[in-house]
Amino acid sequence: MTGVSTFAFDCVVVGAGPSGSTAAIAAQRAGLHTLLIDASAKRRDKTCGDGLTPRAVHTLRQLRLDHVLPAYRNRGLKLHGFGGDVTAPWPEGVYGTEGSASPRRIFDDALVTEAANAGATVWQECPATGAEFDGGRISHVHTARGPVSAKWVIVADGVRSPFGKQLGRIWHKSEVYGIAARSYCATDAVETANEPWMHSHVELRDDSGEVQPGYGWIFPLGELDGTGYVNLGCGALSTDTRPAKVNTKKLLSFYASQQRDTWGLGPEEAVTSALLPMGGAVSNVAGANWALIGDAAACVNPLNGEGIDYGMETAVMAVDLITGAGKHPDLTLAWPLALREAYGEAFALARTAARLLTYPQFLPAVAPLAMRGPGGKYLMPAAARLMGNMISDADRDLVARAWRTAGKLAPKDAPLWDAA
């Protein structure tokens, strides 16, 4: 057993990405003496598309953090492929019509700074190395700086979730997961970097001309240090029974070569890749006084890999549950239930739809109809709305009602944040 702890906090947050920093901000504002720790140094990089949907922007504004957003704004998605081009503006609704984008090394660092400004203690280059239990509750988090006593622990350590694994987190790869590679490319024109549309190429072919089970993206980032940049990447969906047979870094390079002249792109920089659990396909996400949030809890949209908005939302949800459910709430069952109530139907339906995309024959058969004619005019803007996580419980239009109805009918037998 650990002796007298040098450090004592009401809440320890493991991981300083958007989820963890938002949790630290919310916890500190709620009156919890909070420690935020991260294994990496300041301004660490992260494999990500860097896009911030209006849902993410809305959450930042609710938290009075919209000042961390860059000047760049986008208006929606442009989808390309299979003989069609579809423009899908962000729809009017609860979340507003403004999106943005910011490199994670900048965005995450800004949120860490806000956590410190809120009064949280921040330790970077300080991994969580283990946990000690007392009566079924975490009593101490072991860190590179020594043991820390904690009343509550929020785990936000990303897609691999090393600390979550120590607590028993299991990722179910039988469900759809993402594989992706990302790069940054300088552009030779300011107007290109400030293009107000996020672009996605749903017809992604390799150098032999074969259609791949994924998509490419180009997300403008505006100007960084006087130079225009875009985030360029590609992703694919996979399961353990139908693995995507694609080298994402090689495919990214070929995709960049296809887009280079159109966008005036320089060479690919800072290429990284990652695997991405999606749609709540993890179990053991909570214990008596601890909970996994964001990417660690697979709170990622299976249709597009977006997770920043869910990460920040689950951060606030976890803090609200800790502070609003009595003196000593037990999170073991309460947290998975909260996640299922908030996202269960939508994620179950999205996982069902995404599973179809893992069949190599599906996209080439369906996409030409969806991208041209009436499909391009009506179906794809609705699909883009779903891909952008842009349906709220308050929406009552036809697309929102159809989505909710389908979600109720989607199969629920797959793991959705099962409890330990």
Structure tokens at 349: 């339906």
The CA distance from 186 to 227, in Å, is 7
The CA distance from 92 to 80, in Å, is 23
pLDDT digits (tens), the chain, 420 positions: 455 557 999 999 999 999 999 999 999 999 999 999 999 999 999 999 999 999 999 999 999 999 999 999 999 999 898 888 888 888 888 889 999 999 999 999 999 999 999 999 999 999 999 999 999 999 999 999 999 999 999 999 999 999 999 999 999 998 889 999 999 999 987 788 899 999 999 888 877 887 777 789 999 999 998 899 999 999 988 888 888 888 899 999 999 999 999 999 999 999 999 999 999 999 999 999 999 999 999 999 888 888 999 999 999 999 999 998 666 689 999 999 999 999 888 888 778 778 777 766 666 666 666 666 665 565 666 666 665 566 656 555 555 555 556 555 555 555 577 654
pTM: 0.91
Give me the torsion for CA of 158, 96, 319, 123, rounded to 10°: 50
Biggest alpha carbon distance in the chain? 70
Burial class for 231, CB neighbours closer than 10 Å (0-12, 13-18, 19+): buried
The CA distance from 251 to 72, in Å, is 28
The CA distance from 244 to 209, in Å, is 16
Strands 84-89 and 137-143 turn out to be unpaired
pLDDT for 348: 81
Task: Give 341-379 as a DSSP string.
Answer: HHHHHHHHHHHHHHHHHTSTTHHHHHHHHHHSHHIIIII
pLDDT for 245: 82
Q: Is residue 138 within 8 Å of residue 146, measured between CB atoms? A: no
The CA distance from 281 to 137, in Å, is 24
Candidate CATH numbers 3.30.450.20, 3.30.230.70, 3.40.50.11810, 3.50.50.60; the one for domain 7-46+100-171+279-346: 3.50.50.60
pLDDT for 420: 46
The CA distance from 220 to 99, in Å, is 11
Q: What is the distance, to the nearest Å, from the Cα of residue 229 to the centroid of all Cα atoms in its chain?
A: 21
Which of 14, 100, 91 has the alpha carbon at shortest distance from 309? 100
Q: Is residue 86 within 8 Å of residue 79, measured between CB atoms? A: yes
Angle, helices 18-29/308-324, rounded to nearest 10 degrees: 30
